[in-house]
Amino acid sequence: MRFEDYKPSEEKHYSILNSNGQIITEEDLLSFSEEELLYLYRTMLYTRIVDEKALSYQRQGRMLTYAPNIGQEAAQIGSAYAMEKEDWLVPAFRELGAWLIRGIPLKNIYLYWYGNEWGSYMPEGVKVLPVSVPIASQLQHATGIGMANNIKGENNVVVTYVGDGGTSQGDFHEALNFAAVFKAPVVFIIQNNQYAISVPRKEQTASETLAQKAIAYNMPGVLVDGNDIFAMYSATKEAIDKARKGEGPTLIEAFTYRLGAHTTSDDPTKYREDKEVEEWEKKDPILRFKKYLQSKEILTEEWEKNTQKEIEKEVVYTFEEIEDKSDTSIEDIFNYQYETMPPHLEEQLEQYKSFLEGGK
């Protein structure tokens, strides 16, 4: 793609695949093997099933508060697939598809939402920061890693995510400003799912687009159809390539929709109409990609059915294993907050141990 063809202040979405699974801009469709296409589709299915199971477990009281990703699979998987092995991923808390693409085991993901400290542990060689719940705070970490890469002479790129509501936080603007000034190799991706918790996007910013916020920092900004996995891959790949060449950061607005609740503590029926959700369900990124694969005779109903069964079996087994063996250790809550435990936490931990001994 050419960023210059898409002015960030205009509501012109960059798309390759329309909602019927048909190619709009053939020249922008990068080459994927059939194996890659099925891998991407399988990961989208995996993400959806993991989500649905997590929601069910939480409703049964078997998991803590959970943030669903349903409807945002293409925005996450398409962008993360454009990264190279040594690149850094800096997430917020709704990046399930990106975590799976980058190699975080499902066990770790479920451990986090189960309330176990080891859910934030990243396997060796996986360059992903832990979940960051304070809104937009992770963006400063991303910019810091990008600046450090420049200082150390490393050629790695940082991809980081934030929601539309996060663009109203000071951390967002500080991160973009520093990244632009120091030409940090960072790709900022706004998952614009239309709601900042219960506040619609139009009520929390007066900007025509979120992509236009890039203009103030003199960096490229582009509005992308976030339900189009090909467009998300292409735009992110272009931004990553520019960053790797030393051309600095890019801001991508992934225009998508949160089909579920903000978290399992939220009731979206109180602030949006069912009709709106039904219209977006027709734009489901998985359905769109499925139509494309079927039109190319790459995907069969038998393959999909067998794959779904395989995924469901794995997901259930993973969670039940966690449920049987993964109660949170109070000591872990103290041990992994800091590299060296500060005195006030040492004192609290000793008090806890004394309490246990006194109860015996």
- Kindly report, residue by residue over 139-176, the tens digit of the pLDDT: 999 999 999 999 999 999 999 999 999 999 999 999 99
What tokens appear for 210 in the block? 């979120």
Rounded to the nearest 10 degrees, how much is the dihedral formed by the CA atoms of 85, 91, 93, 96? -20
Does 13 participate in catalysis according to the annotation?
A: no
- Residue ranges of the domains in the chain? 3-328, 330-360
Q: The tokens 């520093």 sit on which residue?
A: 178
pLDDT digits (tens, 9 = 90+) for 41-87: 999 999 999 999 999 999 999 999 999 999 999 999 999 999 999 99
Contact criterion met (CB below 8 Å) for 319 and 50: no
Q: Under a CB-based contact definition with an 8 Å cutoff, are residues 330 and 352 in contact?
A: yes
pLDDT over threshold 70, residue 309: yes
Options 13, 262, 288, 292, the catalytic residue: 262
CATH number of 3-328: 3.40.50.970
Instruction: Write the DSSP symbol of residue 133.
Output: -
In the predicted structure, residue 360 carries a pLDDT above the cut 60? no
Give the pLDDT score at 10: 87
Task: Measure the N-to-C terminal CA separation of the chain; round to a whole number of Å.
Answer: 67
Q: Give the containing element (helix H, strand E) for 240.
A: helix 229-244
Reply yes or no on whether 262 is catalytic. Answer: yes
The two three-digit tokens of residue 87, written as one number = 């690149």
pLDDT of 326 strictly over 70: no
Neighbours of 323 (CB within 10 A): 14
Q: Out of 271, 272, 288, 336, which one is annotated catalytic?
A: 271
The pTM of the full predicted model, rounded to 2 decimals, is: 0.94
Tens of pLDDT along 197-226?
A: 999 999 999 999 999 999 999 999 999 999
**Cα distance between residue 310 and residue 304, in whole Å:** 10
Q: How many CB atoms lie within 10 A of CB 132?
A: 19
Q: What is the C-alpha radius of gyration for the chain, rounded to an integer number of angstroms? A: 21
Task: Please indicate whether residue 271 is annotated as part of the active site.
Answer: yes
List 258, 272, 317, 338, catalytic entry: 258
